[in-house]
Every structure is written in C-alpha cells, then in structure tokens.
Structure 1
Amino acid sequence: MSNRLKHLSWSQLKEMKETTNLVIIPTGSIEANGLHLPLGLDTIVAERLAGLVASKVKAVVGPTLEVGDSSSLDDFPGTLVIRPEHFKLYLEDICRSLIKWGFKDILFINGHGKNVPIITQLADTLQEFDEVRSAQVEVWKFIKFQGENNTESAEIGHYHGGEAGTSVMLYLEPDLVDVSQWVNEPQRDADLFPEIIKYKKLSTLTKSSTIGNATLGTAEKGKFLVEMAVGRIEDFLKNEWNA
C-alpha cells in the first residue's frame, strides 16, 4: 500500500491511521537554481526525502506545497511567487484538516529557506492543539549540517545551486541535471558584514543564479548527503516521537 495520502482511498487511510499518527508534509519552491538544475529543485528534493523517511518509519506523506515565496529570484524566468500570507493560510488549512482526521505529529520537510519563518509561525499557532507536535527540517541547512566537510568547496559548496545541491540532484534525479550547462560562479561581491541580514535580489550576486562551483557535484557526494540526512531524521522520529 502506498504511504502517500493522494494515492490512498479513505478506507485505506483509516487503516493506516490505526498504526501511525505521523504525517510528513513536503514544501518547496519553483525558482531558478542555475542553468543546469530544474526550477523545481527544492520541491523535488523535499518530496523525495519525505518518501525516503516515510519508508523508514510508519508515516503518511501529505500533499506537497510546490511553490513558496521566491521573490528574491523573480528576475529569473520561470520563478513563481506565493505571498507568505497565502502560503501560511493554505498550509494551515491542510494541517487543520489532517488534525481533524487524527494526525498528531506533523513533520514539515521544507526545501526552501524563505518558507522557514512562515512554517515556524504556523507551528506556533498549532500549539493550541494540546496533543499536536510539529517540527521542521530545512533541507539545505540540514544537509549542510550533516555533511559540511564533504564538499570540496567548503562553505560555498552549500550555496544556491552549487556543489551540494547539484550532488543531491545527481543522486536523486540525474536525468534532470544538464551538466553541459553547469558553471563555477563565485558570489559577485564579498560579504563584508555577514552578521547583518540583508535583503537584495539574487541577480545582484550571480548572473546564472548559481553561487559556487556546481561542476564539483557528484552522485556519490549526493548519496552520502541524502543518506546522512534521512538517517538523522529517522533517528529523531524514532527516538523523540516514537514513530
């Protein structure tokens, strides 16, 4: 039986609910990720990770929110933008529906950084339900934390569309990576004040929407990063939430 909500009949869902209270909700974006990567990188990776995690524990994979707030990338063709308030309300309605049908543990596997504060606000709201627990995995920071020393280009290896992102896609969906178009493009200007949060279009920092050396990406590195991330999430769900 599939563990994806959209594949189940209501009677199959009822049967699965007898063994789990856990639902995993993938979220992502549709935005430029370099000349070599698909617009749906964040969504594809979040959805694949959700499926891999759900195969390790008892969980239902809920609907994917494919588009988020990518306004900082809207200079690049194909980038779609959902305003934060709309994203939050839509996701909140999904969560309230799932809670109605008995799900008490909600894990957001989120592939897009701009979605993080929106999901955090929602998770705070959901605490009005006494028995509901929620947590969020921000995919790219999570992967960086698991394998920071496994990129040849160090810190910049985890930047937008660079070595880490390219490696993960080469492992998960190699047919969607056009290596003939990948580039080595360092950030245009050095950040002299990294401790200050700044707001600017990504096009002011990069011509291709890649920051870093994507040509260092390999499927082997991607396999390591994905397996480390999935294993760590599995540990959390089993040890913290008894999934």
Structure 2
Amino acid sequence: MYLGDEAWPDLETYFEEESLALVPTGSTEQHGPHLPEATDHLIAEAFAREAAERTGYLCTPTINVGVSGHHRQFHGTMWVDPPAFREYVESLTRNLTEHGIDRVIYVNAHGGNVPHLREVGARLRQDETAFAIEWMWNESIPDLVDELFEQNGPHGGPKETAMIQHLRSELVHDDRLEEARDGGIPSVDAAGTVKHGSRTFYDAADNTENGVLGDQTDATAEKGEEMFEAASDQLVELCEWVAAREFEELLPEPHV
C-alpha cells in the first residue's frame, strides 16, 4: 500500500491493524556521466514499493534529498546538512507514530544517509517512541554482489548501473559506460588517498575525476533484475520479522 495513493478514510483500517511503515530514503546527486542523479532514490523507492506490494505494509513518500555534500563539486547535486536531515527524518517518523506506527524500516539506497538514519533510530528507540532501523539493499545480498561483479564500485559502479538498467533503462547512457569506467577509478584503494591508515579524502572529487568507481561495462539489466529480486526477498523477510515482534522485545535492555 502506498500512502500517497490513499484517501484518509481508507487508511483507518491499516492504522488500526498494522504498526509498520516503510520509508524510502535516497539522494539526488551525481552518479557519473552515465546514470541519473535520481539513482539512489529511484532504487530506494522501487524496493520499498515492491515490499509493500508483496506484504501489504505501508510505503510512505520517498525522501529524495539526503546527506550528499561530499558530491557537491558535480553539477546538480543536492544535499542537506546532516543535522537538518536527522531532524527531518526524526520529525517525519514521529509523525507516523501519531497514527499508530511504532516500527519503521528506512529503505535506504545512499551510503551517506546510513550513520544519520542509525542515529535517529537509536534516539527513537531510547525514548521508546518507535523501533526504526536502516536497511541498505546491497548489504542484504553481499555474496551475490561479489559473485556478479569483479569490482562493484561502490559509487556509480556496476551494481548501481545494473540496478538502474533493470528499473529505468531509458535513463542510462549505455554509450557512456566505457567513458565512466575510464574516467573514474576501480576502487578507493586505487586512488591512493588512504595514507598511513588515514582516510585523507572528504569528497568524491578527491578520489575520482568523474565521480564514480568500478567497471560500469560489467553491468547488465539481467544482473540488476537478479539483485532486485534477491534483495526484495530479504526486505520482505525483514518486514515480517519486525512485524512479528512484540514491541517490548524491540526496546532497549534494562540497566544491569
């Protein structure tokens, strides 16, 4: 069920019977010369809607702009500062609890959001408002990703390229895949920006001239479909696990 499609009287039964919501979170940022800036939020929304379709759980509108300041040197990248992002996500989640939601899965597709979603979730759990957790699609199927790609990226690499080829092929510039590979770098290690155990870089542009890593020519829509199905299965199982728990089970352990 997608919240935005429903009239308010038709949501009453859901909030009476269910307590779980899926909140897709992504970004609007550069993904190299071959992928759209919408890449992350398109992926997040696709997974959240797929899981909602399979399970009947509620999917909210997508948070399209995230913590992406580290891509600011590239045209069109949008971002909010981390405190603003955390405050917004927490406020939105507390809004859901007003309707009876007490468990939330942030269906996330942008690495820059991860620590901030975790921080928000920890605060909400600590004050016993809600159990809110972050889910990252590729982290749910690491073995498959490693099996499909010799070097998966991470950013704008073949795994994201394959996913968008599957979900929105018309947005992929297939004629620029070699350009993306040759103008980027294979990995962060190859950039040489880790010095004596220190990550000396802060921005994507410190590592890669065109903003991406990995071999984009290794991507296919078929690989994207395989990852989408496998990760969707994992998200559905996570939904069912979270929904089956008594709320008290999800709260912090008492002081020893």
Normalising by the residue count of structure 1, what TM-score does the alignment of the two structures yield? Answer: 0.90
Residue identity opposite 2:80 in structure 1: I
Classify 1:129/1:54 alpha carbon distance in 2 versus 1 (closer, same or farther; 3 Å).
farther
Aligned residues: 238
Contact 2:55/2:236 (8 A) holds in 1: yes
What's 2:112 paired with? Answer: 114
What's 1:174 paired with? Answer: 169
* In 2, Cα distance between equivalents of 1:176 and 1:23: 29
Deviation per CA, 1:170-219: give whole Å up to 9, x if none: 11111111101222232462455696444422112212212111111001
Contact 2:145/2:159 (8 A) holds in 1: no
What's 1:186 paired with? Answer: 185
Q: 2:20 aligns with which of 19, 22, 41?
A: 22
Deviation at 1:146, TM superposition (A): 4.7
> Matches of residues 52-91 of structure 1 in structure 2 within 5 Å?
52-91=50-89
What's 1:212 paired with? Answer: 214
> Matches of residues 131-210 of structure 1 in structure 2 within 5 Å?
132-143=130-141, 145-153=142-150, 156-182=151-177, 183-184=180-181, 185-187=184-186, 189-190=191-192, 196-210=198-212
Classify 1:4/1:198 alpha carbon distance in 2 versus 1 (closer, same or farther; 3 Å).
farther
What's 1:92 paired with? Answer: 90
What's 1:229 paired with? Answer: 231
Classify 1:206/1:95 alpha carbon distance in 2 versus 1 (closer, same or farther; 3 Å).
same
| Higher relative helix content | 2
Root-mean-square deviation (CA), in Å? 2.0
Unmatched runs of 5 consecutive residues or more in structure 2: 246-256
Unmatched runs of 5 consecutive residues or more in structure 1: none
Contact 1:140/1:158 (8 A) holds in 2: no
* In 2, Cα distance between equivalents of 1:239 and 1:62: 20
> Identical aligned pairs, as a percentage?
25
Deviation at 1:152, TM superposition (A): 3.2
* In 2, Cα distance between equivalents of 1:129 and 1:100: 15
Deviation at 1:149, TM superposition (A): 2.9
Normalising by the residue count of structure 2, what TM-score does the alignment of the two structures yield? Answer: 0.86
